[in-house]
Chains A and B, each alone.
Chain A
Amino acid sequence: MPDSNPIEQLRLQLALLGCPAKAARRIVRETAEHYEDLQRVALTSGLSPAEAAAQAAQQLGDPAMLAERYVAAMRKCRGLGWLPFLAFAVLPLAFLSACAFFIGVAAWLVYAFAERSRAGLHMGLLACAFTGLEALFFPANALNLAILLLVAGLMGVRLCREVEPAVIHP
């Protein structure tokens, strides 16, 4: 059964619209205080607590509509909100690509250091650039992530095998 409390409904709607948690907490707190003020005034006018709550909820407005307005206002005042394609399509891909590149760089640097080979380092950087580009051109998906994890895992295993003897037998 859906919650009839308008503040809980607002909280739910904000979450459904993907409102960031910090902003949602502030919106919910301020709206709850406003609701409390409306209820207090209704009670002083002689209404019963239930009637006061119902009147306050009516004055506050539809929680779904309020949530939409909040989210729209937030997108309006945050630069990226004006460019949803950039915010929700280009940047995540660029981020994935950058992550893939830097994870690769870190792993290959460690590998090359372990091998102490300049050729290994160059090959590694080339592979990282390729991984980054591949992640950029192929959208973020489970397969891509799985490949990244597999490569990282294989490199980790190989690194452990190669480094271990050096550590045990310097």
Chain B
Amino acid sequence: MMTKPAKTNPSFLNGVPELLVLRLLARRAMYGYEIVKEIQVQSQDALSFGEGCIYPYLHYLEAEKFVRSQRREVEGRSRNYYELAAHGKKRLAALEREWSRVTEAVAAVKGAQHA
């Protein structure tokens, strides 16, 4: 008898940049350069976003209404600041749940190998 295939998770790594960006924006509004640097600093250079690659993500997140942007002038420089939108909070919660599921699964496999 055929069994129903288990739910696959092909995009769990693809969702990591989105998760990181939304998590940072949940703390405060930031502009692209700040986000890239913050990811580098907080991950102690383990994770690094391609400098120019952040904007396609941000524009995608904005189009999906997960974030919203606003032009602000700070210290004489005008930048596009992004902040988390209400829809983005739900998306972040979903991505964090998915990430926890994946890390727990990986930990379980690693634990089984060491046992």
Contacts and interface: CB of A to CB of B under 8 A. Distances in A.
B63 A77 contact: yes
A34 B57 contact: no
Contact of B53 (A27, A69, A76): A69
Interface string A20-55: 000100110111011001100000000000000000
B53 A31 contact: no
Contacts, number: 57
Contacts of A29: 80
A30 B52 CA distance: 9
Interface residues of B, number: 20
A27 B51 contact: no
B12 interface: no
Interface string B56-93: 11011001100000000000011110000000000000
A34 B59 contact: no
Contact of A61 (B31, B50, B59): B50
Nearest to A63: B52
Interface string B23-39: 00000000111001000
B79 A60 contact: no
A61 B51 contact: yes
